[in-house]
Amino acid sequence: MAIRDDLNPYAWLMAFRRTAYERGWLRSVHPGIPIVSVGNLTMGGTGKSPLVLLLTEYLERKGKQVAIVSRGYKRRSNGFLLVCDGKKILADVEQSGDEPQMFARLAPNAIVIVDEDRARGACEASALGADVIVLDDGFQHLRLRRDLNILIATAPSAVIPFGRAREPKNAVRAADFLIATDERFLPKGTTIPSAIVQNVPTHCSSMTGTVVPLTEITGKRVLALSSIASPERFHRMLREQGAEVIPRDLGDHAEYSAPLVAQILHGAENAGVEAIVTTAKDIVKSQGYFERAASSIPVFILHHTLEFLHGEERFYHAIDRIL
């Protein structure tokens, strides 16, 4: 541990907690179907959602009924909630939280569950007929045993409150597979299998779901509207498409309202933008407000996926082994 972690009581508490589960002093449960967990050591956006969607798509191609189990951060509900039963969406964004609502829209054949007790949520997923569970942001949810523990590796940091890490960096030992966007983020000398990926834009869409080619934003002045933890990656993808980006960052998981959207549109008009481009996570919260505002400025959603630079075969082999 870094010096600051050695002096940080919270870092010691988190290290002890993980050891307690590893040695069986604290009990964990398993629902009896394979679980793939996606998580990270640091707070904020590290690309978990694109990986959850990539896993879901792959498992569905294998003929599996997938259940995505998430906490439902900032939702206005408590306990177990079935967001999507794999046929239709059963809860709105206020009940589910923004990321689970996004999963329900982008992976409509998956069961989507939110529950702060993800062990209970996983058991409910099994009862609902899921063949496999993708656990969103599950690396620290140790009460639920998993069959494949995927960790997104990022730049090292001190443990909160002195940095952005949720627990000491030696917790990486619990990972079965590492995903990184840069080889420098992988622990030196690690023997844990790994893959390197990058975020690649695929297309835009309108609020009605019409596919909009990326060339539609090339050479245009756009307002990049987001409420995500790491908007720089979003801005970079837009610039790589040749757009002139005017950033409008609201902060991670920010809530939308009619006055806020009116303010955003007023700012967009003053800036002379030709379009507003937002994220799939944002549109589940903002679409109704934009539709009611009826502005002449088009609103597009940028869609992207993960592309493997190397380690793709290792990654899918690790998944196939647990099925």
Spatial neighbors of 281 by CB under 8 A, at least 6 apart, are 49, 98, 99, 102, 226, 227, 228
pLDDT at residue 66 tops 50: yes
Residue 184, classified by CB atoms within 10 Å of its CB into exposed (0-12), middle (13-18) or buried (19+), is exposed
Rounded to the nearest integer, the mean pLDDT of the chain is 94
Rounded mean pLDDT, 52-79: 95
Distance CA 210, CA 232 (A): 26
SS3 266: helix
Domains 3-192 and 199-304 share a fold: yes
pLDDT of residue 3: 57
Q: What percent of the chain has pLDDT over 70?
A: 98
Structure token digits, residue 290 = 């934009």
The tens digit of pLDDT for each residue in 157-213 reads 999 999 989 999 999 999 999 999 999 999 998 999 999 999 999 999 999 999 999
pLDDT exceeds cutoff 80 at 274: yes
pLDDT in tens, 117-166: 999 999 999 999 999 999 999 999 999 999 999 999 988 899 999 998 99
Q: How far apart are CA 23 and CA 287, in angstroms?
A: 48
- Is the pLDDT reported for residue 229 higher than 90? no
Per the listing, tokens 């030696």 go with 170
Q: Which amino acid is it at 39?
A: G
Residue 72 has pLDDT above 80, yes or no: yes
Domain positions in the chain are 3-192, 199-304
pLDDT grade for 45, boundaries at 50, 70 and 90: low
Question: From its phi and psi, is residue 63 left (phi > 0), alpha (psi between -120 and 50) or beta?
Answer: left
Q: The pTM is what?
A: 0.94
Query: Is CATH 2.30.170 the right assignment for the domain spanning 199-304?
Result: no
What's the confidence (pLDDT) of residue 1? 45
**Strand bridging mode 194-206 / 211-212:** antiparallel
Under CATH, which architecture does the 3-192 domain have? 3-Layer(aba) Sandwich (3.40)
In the prediction, which pLDDT does 249 show? 95
Task: Give, for 217, the enclosing helix (H) or strand (E).
Answer: none
Find the mean pLDDT for residues 41-60: 91
Instruction: Outline where the chain has alpha helix (H).
Output: 3-6, 9-22, 48-61, 93-96, 98-106, 118-127, 231-240, 258-271, 280-293, 312-322
